[in-house]
Amino acid sequence: MAMLALAPENKRSRSWLQDKLWSTRGKEQGAASLRQSLSEIRRALGSDRDCLLANAFVVSLDRSRIAIDLDDPAMQSTLDAGQDLDLLEGLDIGDQEFEDWLRLERQRIRKRHISVSTTVRAENAGAVRPAEPRRLPNHLLLTRKIRAGHGGSPILADSVLDTVAKSIAELGAATVFDRRTEPAETCICAEQSHTLALHSEIDDSNGKRIERLALLQLPDKSLIWSSTLPIPRNGTMDLNDPDLLRCANLAVSIATDQFVKMHADASERTLSSALCYSGMLHLFRLGKINFEAADHLFARAFEVEPRGIHLAWRAYLRTFLLAERQFTCRQTIDAEAFDFMRRALELEPHNSYVAALSAHVQTIMRRSYVAAYELAERSVQLNHANPIGWACLGVAKSHLGKPEEGFQHTLTARAIAGSAPYRYQLDALSCVVGAMAGQFDKAIYLAEASHALAPEFAPPLRYLSVLYSYAGRRDLSLEMVQKLQRAEPDFSYEKLRDKAYPVAGLRRTGIIDSLPLRQI
């Protein structure tokens, strides 16, 4: 009951609960223990038994029927009075997984209390205490300047600004305001401390046309980042040029990071964008603890602001659980992923990142390549600078019989991603598609690049174990096998032949059949 009360949306999958409470028992034993516990809880609740909800995959509490003491102002007063109360004090069930969860929850509650109580003390000093923490929104202002001597249209500068603004808005990092028709010095926003200006300037006064893109902190206009892009003599620029899109994505990454830093001293309850960004960083750091932290942060972001992008990240996270084999029930993570995906698309059908993340879910969880293709194509049509969209389009096309074309799309994704934290996954997806296109040497290079950025990421290790063997480099293949076996003790060449094992791209190449029956 406590685990459900503290869970995002007061909901947990059956497999998650089994993993935390009966981790030392077999799957069937754990499921039976969970069923027995649910029956005991319902009997104890008597006429209120229907506040505990359960289906084949998920167990939850009816939030309208329960009260949680941590949300009670009286409990906050007790904590403020200096009483050191320990979350679930004295509760010990002897399962290490539960103990790990409890330790993390105690740290989280303690951190939240310290943050809130510090804010209250500061407010009391000024004799003012608002009922809720004030949420200071992030603002991004778009400005531009055309220097004297430029006779052309500002469409070039505007197109780059539009590309950056689109991604910023889709990811929920800031509210975008268009101030391009106003002088930059008149662009004043109510919350200057949480405002950045993205400024574009075109200059051809020296006979060479240059566009400068700069990110400025308001109100002092201090420079955070800048870059220049040469404009061809004919005055036209290919808006799909990888250099331009890489520059745009770099601006998105730096602006998002800067917005998060602005709220570094605030409570976790401030902005959904900060919670979501933190969740994304945890997700791409990999590992069981990071995955759980990421899921919690995405769920909290949705509580603060119910946007589709937050649900899409939760669906996407399930593809990592599958790829990293961090699950106990495949049916459960499938059901969760598709529920999050469906709700995300309903809330934000025109968000390119929601479409791209959903395309990846279709590819990894169900191998529904036609659906993945439709979603990925929608993504790049909505935002041609979306690297995840290009990568998913490449994977889908490859599985639908166009691997050479798909390979070019995944390479485009790599080229335009900039410093995105998911770069290593784009390398891994490019390796998959490169292998399907028969470009085995390039596939090895791409898998090595992914492995260098994320040594614990399993997919490139799986592909390298096969590709090295196929290339006659058996010693390196064995090295990859040994690395995989640290996380997957049951891994073997024979495992790769299992249709349920996550190497669908390799099976399409047929080179798995060239492996020896067992590694030596």
Query: Which tens digits make up the pLDDT trace of 460-495?
Result: 999 999 999 999 999 999 999 999 999 888 888 888
Task: Specify the pLDDT at position 463.
Answer: 94
* C-beta atoms surrounding 273 within 10 Å: 26
- Tokens encoding 372: 């993945």
Distance, C-alpha 37 to centroid of its chain: 34
418: left (phi over 0), alpha (psi -120 to 50) or beta: left
| Residues forming beta bridges with residue 196, ordered by sequence position | 140, 217
pTM of the complete model: 0.75
For 139-252, CATH number? 3.40.50.11830
Evaluate if residue 70 carries a pLDDT over 80.
Answer: no
Identify which of 153, 232, 156, 220 has the alpha carbon closest to the alpha carbon of residue 188. 220
Cα atoms in the Cβ-side hemisphere of radius 13 Å centred on 467: 25
Question: Nearest Cα to 330, choosing from 298, 365, 382?
Answer: 365
State how far the alpha carbon of 212 is from the alpha carbons of 163, 176, 221, 229, 292, in Å: 15, 20, 15, 6, 41
**Percent of the chain's residues with pLDDT above 90:** 38
350-398: pLDDT as tens digits: 999 999 999 999 999 989 999 999 999 999 999 999 999 999 999 999 9
**What region, left, alpha or beta, does residue 286 occupy, with left being phi > 0 and alpha being psi -120 to 50 degrees?**
left
At residue 269, the pLDDT reads 44
For residue 94, is it left (φ>0), alpha (ψ between -120 and 50) or beta? left
Helix/strand/coil for 22: coil
Q: Write the pLDDT tens digit of every residue in 82-104.
A: 556 678 877 777 777 888 778 77
Cα separation, 109 vs 116, in Å, equals 10
The domain segmentation of the chain, as residue ranges, is 1-74, 139-252, 266-328+337-346
CB neighbours of residue 41 within 10 Å: 16
Q: Answer yes or no: is pLDDT of 268 > 50.
A: no
User: Are 166 and 383 in contact, with CB atoms under 8 Å apart?
Assistant: yes
Token pair of 508 as six digits: 């399409």
Whose structure tokens read 């509580």?
303
Q: How far apart are CA 35 and CA 50, in angstroms?
A: 15
Instruction: Give the Cα separation of 362 and 109 in Å (integer).
Output: 36
Report the candidate in 84, 167, 210 with the shortest Cα–Cα distance to residue 385: 167
pLDDT more than 70, % of the chain: 82
Bridge-partner residues for 216, per DSSP?
197, 223
- The model's pLDDT over 408-446, given as tens digits with 9 standing for 90+, comes to 999 999 999 987 899 999 999 999 999 999 999 999 999
Cβ neighbours, 10 Å, residue 418: 18
Alpha-carbon gap, residue 454 to 451, rounded angstroms: 5
pLDDT tens-digit readout, 185-195: 555 444 455 78
Long-range contacts of 98-102 (CB under 8 A, 24+ apart): 98/20, 98/21, 98/23, 100/289, 101/3, 101/20
**Separation between Cα atoms, residue 436 and residue 410, nearest integer Å:** 12
